[in-house]
Every structure is written in structure tokens, then in C-alpha cells.
Structure 1
Amino acid sequence: MFTRLRLSNFKAWQETNDIALKPVTMLLGTNSSGKSSLIQSLLLLKQTVQSPDRSIHLNLGGDEINDLFNFGDFDNVLHQGFSGARQFSLSFSFQSPASARINHGDFSCSYGQNSAGGVVIQDWLVKTDNRQFRSIRRERGAYSVIIDDESQPRDKGRHLSPERSVSLSAEAIVMLGQDGNVLEDLSLSIRRELENIVYLGPLRRKPERDYVWNKSKPGELGSDGHRAIDVLLASALMKSEDQNRIIEGVSKWLVRMKVADKLEVKQLGRSTRYELVVHRDDVQANLRDVGIGISQVLPVLTIAYFAPTGSTIMLEEPEIHLHPLAQSVLAELFVEVSKERNVQFIIETHSEHLFRRMQTLIARQQITTTDAAMYFVEREGKAARMRPLELDDFGRVKNWPEGFFGDALGETREQTALAIQRAKELRARDGNVPG
């Protein structure tokens, strides 16, 4: 689980300072304020560690099949209002299960440009407990490796350049001896934490009328959720307890959202084609023929049960096309599944209903402010600004931002004033009518 994130001169952010990440973290705010950039920073590192090129420092994307995002070039990532050196930095902390060889650590890295315009690491730092490993870029692409608080580097040279942002070369590991073993374990833990990110974006595919299932279990859903149906087919048809829990979990939440009574997989004749049938009020309908909200929320529900235990699930606008009650129930999904399956949710949302239900869940003591964090993001000139929402034990916000979710109180006040004025006008009119 990620426990801290910090960005400097990255996209909309000049400086975030340390952001505490909890089992359920909610990002709210205005459009184009910088909420998505927070999620994208970790996705950038995820696609870097998954790059086939070991020598790459940062994979800004471009491979439409394998990359999560195409970030463009260095100037597209660098904050437009930067001052000083043309560098940006990403930093995070994580906590792994107690059984892991390295169960907590920190990663920090600053990036600049080389003479060819490519992205290169300027200063790389990873640490755990009382151990610290640092690689600093010198002249002509050489790097110095410094261990703990030693005053002199262990070695210098191009061969000490960090790989995929999270590790040093095999040659450097050998050079470090026993310290190299510690660094190797730490780098592996950082890599696994990033690989355990599961992401679902705001744009999801429309459903088909039927699907081919080749009796395989998908490895991932895809950022647009296009493999969610394959996961549900495997869950319904592979006849194992572990698989069945996915479609059972999805069906349970569809019922709680009051959008369906049951989700069923039906084979079309003896073919390899199957359809998803939605049951509601004794009516059966193909997924294609029901409201778009069900097909859009299916990947959200599926990913909650499909993601491996210990994963970090990142969601953008999970509430899209859902009615208010269903949006509210999503908050219950995140809280309950986070506890049941030991997964972390980082959610970017515009839903007032989702937020209000989170407040209620805190008031009910179904989750505490220790396990939930909410942030309001807004623009201040060219830079994004973050405000941690301070909630008491009853879910009440102590530092309510101006214009947060519109002006509901102002709307109610105006409606009441207009109703009173209208009533006075009617009484005055009726009083002038001859009896």
C-alpha cells in the first residue's frame, strides 16, 4: 500500500508537499485542477518498471498497446510555472505485508534532460529502516553511488546509472557486496508495489451483445475495462470457488445499488459465444439493452474483486452514468472491499453523493479518519493547490472549501425566499379580488 506521495514541478503541480495516502483516499475538486496528475504520476512509474528496456530512466509512453499513458515529452511533464533548474521529482512511501522481506520503504527521484533532450535521472534515493542508497548524476552521464551517510561514493561511472527508475545495474549490485543484496531486495519491493497498481480510467467501452470466451483467465482488465466481461465469463464458467467469488461479488453490489437483481452468463446454443443477462423485476435483458450505467459500473465492481490482495486500485470517475443512490453505494463498496480483501482505493471523483455517503460511513464508525483521507484540489493560477479536508468523528468537514459541490445552501436559501415572495404575491392578489 502507498502511504505517501509527493510531486514537485510535475504537470499541474509546482509542489504538493507530502500527501498521506490511506486505504481509501478520495480526490475531489474542479475540472482540470490536477487531480488526475496525482494518479498519473504513479502510473508513469508503473509503465516505466514494466518497460522492456532496462536502461530507460523514465518511460513517457508512446506504445499504444503496452503503455498506460502517452505523456508526450519532457516539456509536457514539466510544470509550466517552474522556477530554477529544469527538473521535476516524484517521491512516495509504501508499506508491504509484515511477511515481506522489505515491508516498508521510500522512493525519491528527480529527473532532468540530457543534451539530446531525453529524460535522465539526476538524483535517485531509496531507503528502508536505517539503510539508504543514492545515485547522483555527474558530468557526461556518469553516476556516483553513496551508501547510508558515507562521505565518499563507493564508485563512479556510467555503469552506475539507475535502471527503470527503481534499481541499479547487476554490475553495481555485485560491486556493493552485502549492501547490494539489501538494495536488490528493496528495489524488488518498490517494483512490486508499482506493478500492483490496477488502474481504471473514466472512459469505458460500451457493451457488446455477445462475447467469445476461449476458456482463459485474463491477466488484467485494461484501463478502459474492456477485459471486464472476460473476467466475469471466466468467473461464471471456470467452476472454482476463487473464480465464482468475482461474479458473486459483482451481483451482490448490483443488488445493493438497486440496478439489478442478478447477473447471469448464458451460452448461445453450443457455440463459444456467451451473453450477459441482467435480471430485474422478473425481466431478463441482454446487457446491451439495459441502461448504460450498468455496463459502465461493471468494470468498477469487477476490478474490486479481480485485483490481487495487496493491490492499489486507482479509479477515475467510477460514478459515471450512475443514478444518485448507486453513486452513494460505491462508497460502501470501497470501504467494505478494502477491509475484506486488503486492497487500497485511490479515487478521483466529482460525485457529491459518493462523498456524502463516505461522511455517513465515518459517522457510523464503519471507517475512521485513520483509514480514510479526502482531498480537495483546485487551481491557483498556473499551479494546482491541495486542501486536506478535515473531518471530525461524525464526518463533518471543518474546513469546507468555498463553492465545494456548488452552493447547495445558497440554492436552498434562494428557493425558500422565492417561495415566501410568491406566497405574499398570491395573498395580496387574492386580497384584492372582490368578495
Structure 2
Amino acid sequence: MIDQLSLTNFKAFRSADIPLAPVTLLTGLNSSGKSSVLQAFVLLRQSYDSSTLFSSGGGLLLNGELVELGTGLDVLHEDVVHTPGLPTPLISIGLRTSEGQNFNWSALYAAEQDVLTLHSASDAQRTKSVFDRRRFQYLKADRIAPATSYPKSHHQAIGLGFLGASGEHTVNYLRHHARRPLTSKPLRHPKAQTNNFLDHVVAWMQELCPGVNLEATEIPGIDAVRLSYGFDGTAGLTSSARRRPTNVGFGLTYALPIVVACLSAGPGSLILLENPEAHLHPRGQSRMATLMAAAAAAGAQLIVETHSDHVLNGLRLAVKNGAMSATDTAVHYFRRRGLQAEIVTPRIHEDGSLSDWPEGFFDEWENSLEQLLD
């Protein structure tokens, strides 16, 4: 597990050491630094996958399939830390694991370049364990929208087990693994009809929308797959009356990649999530946190950017109910102090309470209520 991320001269951070846990929530106002944390991980992953991270004369690839950060000018912090003896600043990303291993990549700033040349880097052989291709998922905020079909990529969905940054390979992954047994006990849903992967996906999706079921099927003759929903009699529909995602709404389709990512996670997996609450009602947002706690109990590490107090409270309830330990959680509240991102870290206690409640930290409900009662 990665227990600390260190950033220097990277976007919102002049210099920061950010503790991480099996489940880490990144909260705060817009443009306060939350996305920069996820982007640091994704930047390393993108550079590794493109073989630039370890190659001779390689560097950090700012623009690729996972993330597009622009040029060096776009990622350099405004109030830079200078390194003596170097004509340009270094942009650095460091990782520390729970086993005490330290990894660091420092790249030379170049304003107009989108591949920043490495000045120093950890040994390639030693760091490959951090970048296991089959134990990484990144789902950004703009995930797959309801559509009549989705791509069928054997290499991504089956070969690598990667759902795609937008979750575009989720349906094909689900189609292929539908009948595979779910072996991880913490992830099994007690109401699943069988121990097949698809039935557990359906059971967890029913936490978000009671009565829903789904099917993922191949479209003959073309490289595409189809997703359909049924509702077991809810609202007058039967499970045989299949509905296209375009006739159901955004919430279920947006949530599906997150459910599949969590249920497919195993020991050592790293899951990066942006706004898992998007298009979900409050109950669904809270249940999503329950699923994230289950994935952590199965050995995965999740780093989650969220604006939802329901996700936070769902995590607190998971701790209170014994689904996970308080020490396996970290909550970071990001706020701006001039040019620098400031991080406040309230702790979750074993009873689900918080050690403190910083100003601006999910307090809008109370602020609005005070105004209504005034």
C-alpha cells in the first residue's frame, strides 16, 4: 500500500506530504488541489504505460490517454521551490509504501514541453511493483454516458482488466466475467442470487436503485457490446422488458464502472475515483461508501475525490458498524491560502465521530439552516 504522496512544484502544491490510507477521501472547494493529487498518480501511470518513465532520456508524459495536463507551464506551481545548482525548477512526485520503500521522480521544468525530462528517478526494476498493470483503475468525473452500445476491446477489458478512464470498457468486462465466481468474501453481497460476478454487481446496483437488474451482451458482427436494464416489476416494468441506458437516466450508468471497479479489486489494487456521487441520490451516495469500505477490506486502496457529505457519512458509518477500522481511513480537506493549497486532516474515530470540523468542511447545510431559522 502507498501510505504517502509527496509533491513539489506540482500544480496547487509548492511542497506537500499527503498521508494516505486504505480509503482516503479528498474533499474541499473547487480548485483547491484535490484533483492534483489524483493527477499525480495518473501522470506516473501514464508515463509508465507509454514507457517514458524509465527509458533513457525519458520523462513525465503530460498528455496521453489517461490525462491531459498541457505543458510544463500548466503544471508548475506559481511560487516555486528552487534547487541550488539547477537553472530550472524541478517538478517532483514521490511515493512511500507501507513497507518503508521510497520512490521519487523529478523532472526538469520546460514551459512549452509536454514531456518533462527526468532529472532523477528511482530504479526501474525496483519500482515496477508499483505499476502492476492489472491492479490499477482510474475513473474520472466524466464517465460513460447512457448509450446504445459500448466498445469491445479485448486488450483493455480482458487482457489488462482496465475499465478505461471513463469506464468505457466496463460493459465488455462485465460481459466477459459475468459467470466468474466472486472469491473475495468482503465484497460478496448477501442478497446476490448466486456467487457469480454479475449477480453481485446486480445486488450492489440494487443498493443504488432497488429492483434494478442488468445484462451485458455482445452485438454480433461488430466490435461492440450492449447494456440493458430491467426493473423486476418496479414502475410497472418486468425483467423481460429490457430498457436501454438511454431510457433510464445517467445515475445507474455513471455508477456502474465504480461498482465493477470495486468488485474486481484484489489485494494491492489501487482505485482512483473522481466524484463517485455524481447523478446519485443521497442514499445511493452513502451506499457507495459502503462498497468502497468493502473493497478496502478485500485489500484494495482507494483514493476518492468527493463533494458529498453523504459519501463521508457513509464511510463514518462503515467505521462505526465495524466494516473497517478508523485507522484505515484518511479524510483531507483542501483549501486555498494564497497561492498554496492548505490541507486539514480531521480524523474519524472508531465510533464514527470526527476529531474536528474545520470551517468550510461540509457545513453548508448548517449554514443554510441557520439562515432559514433566522
Q: Report the TM-score range of the alignment, normalised by the length of the smaller protein.
A: 0.7 to 0.9
Check conservation: 2:171, 2:226, Cα contact below 8 A: no
Q: Which residue of 2 aligns with 1:82?
A: 80
CA distance in 1, matches of 2:7, 2:308: 25
Selected match of 1:228 from 149, 159, 170: 170
Q: Which residue of 1 aligns with 2:8?
A: 8
Q: Which residue of 2 aligns with 1:121?
A: 118
AA at the equivalent of 2:163: L
Q: CA RMSD in A?
A: 2.9
Q: Which residue of 1 aligns with 2:147?
A: 208
Give the deviation of 1:396 after TM superposition. Answer: 2.0
Check conservation: 2:34, 2:305, Cα contact below 8 A: yes
Matched ranges for 1:330-369 at <5 A: 330-340=288-298, 342-369=299-326
Give the deviation of 1:195 after TM superposition. Answer: 7.2
Deviating above 6 A after TM superposition, structure 1's stretches of 4 or more consecutive aligned residues are: 114-118, 270-273
Give the deviation of 1:353 after TM superposition. Answer: 0.8
CA distance in 1, matches of 2:336, 2:111: 33
CA distance in 1, matches of 2:136, 2:262: 12
Q: Which residue of 2 aligns with 1:249?
A: 200
Give the deviation of 1:233 after TM superposition. Answer: 1.5
AA at the equivalent of 2:274: E
SS in 1 for 2:74: helix
SS in 2 for 1:329: helix
Matched ranges for 1:244-283 at <5 A: 245-265=196-216, 275-282=226-233, 283=237
CA distance in 2, matches of 1:249, 1:56: 46
CA distance in 2, matches of 1:416, 1:203: 37
CA distance in 2, matches of 1:339, 1:39: 22
Matched ranges for 1:33-72 at <5 A: 33-53=32-52, 54-63=55-64, 67-72=65-70
Which consecutive unaligned segments of at least 5 residues does structure 2 have? 84-88, 184-194
1:108-142 CA distance string (max 9 Å, x none): 233324899773334x4xxxxxxxxxxxxxxxxxx
AA at the equivalent of 2:214: L
Give the deviation of 1:256 after TM superposition. Answer: 1.6
Selected match of 1:377 from 334, 338, 341: 334
SS in 1 for 2:360: coil
Check conservation: 1:332, 1:358, Cα contact below 8 A: yes
Which of these two proteins has the greater Rg computed from alpha carbons?
A: 1
Q: Which residue of 2 aligns with 1:198?
A: 137
Q: Which residue of 2 aligns with 1:92?
A: 95
CA distance in 2, matches of 1:276, 1:397: 41
SS in 2 for 1:241: coil
AA at the equivalent of 1:392: H
SS in 1 for 2:292: helix
Q: Which residue of 1 aligns with 2:264?
A: 306
Check conservation: 2:206, 2:213, Cα contact below 8 A: yes
Check conservation: 1:206, 1:295, Cα contact below 8 A: yes
Check conservation: 1:92, 1:107, Cα contact below 8 A: yes
CA distance in 1, matches of 2:290, 2:301: 14
Q: Which residue of 2 aligns with 1:105?
A: 101
SS in 1 for 2:127: helix
Are residues 81 and 209 of structure 1, via their aligned partners in 2, closer, same or farther at CA, if it must alter by over 3 Å? same
2:326 is equivalent to residue 387 of structure 1? no
Are residues 15 and 62 of structure 1, via their aligned partners in 2, closer, same or farther at CA, if it must alter by over 3 Å? closer
> Number of aligned pairs?
344
Check conservation: 1:260, 1:278, Cα contact below 8 A: no
Check conservation: 1:246, 1:302, Cα contact below 8 A: no
AA at the equivalent of 2:101: G
AA at the equivalent of 2:334: V
Check conservation: 1:9, 1:15, Cα contact below 8 A: yes
AA at the equivalent of 1:348: E
Are residues 264 and 361 of structure 1, via their aligned partners in 2, closer, same or farther at CA, if it must alter by over 3 Å? same
SS in 2 for 1:402: coil
SS in 2 for 1:415: helix
CA distance in 2, matches of 1:49, 1:200: 18
Give the deviation of 1:380 after TM superposition. Answer: 1.1
AA at the equivalent of 1:167: D
Are residues 39 and 214 of structure 1, via their aligned partners in 2, closer, same or farther at CA, if it must alter by over 3 Å? closer
CA distance in 2, matches of 1:207, 1:56: 42
1:265-294 CA distance string (max 9 Å, x none): 4677x7777643322251232222112100
**What TM-score comes out, normalization by structure 1 length?**
0.71
**What TM-score comes out, normalization by structure 2 length?**
0.82
AA at the equivalent of 2:342: R
Are residues 308 and 359 of structure 1, via their aligned partners in 2, closer, same or farther at CA, if it must alter by over 3 Å? closer
Are residues 377 and 279 of structure 1, via their aligned partners in 2, closer, same or farther at CA, if it must alter by over 3 Å? same
SS in 2 for 1:370: helix
CA distance in 2, matches of 1:70, 1:215: 25
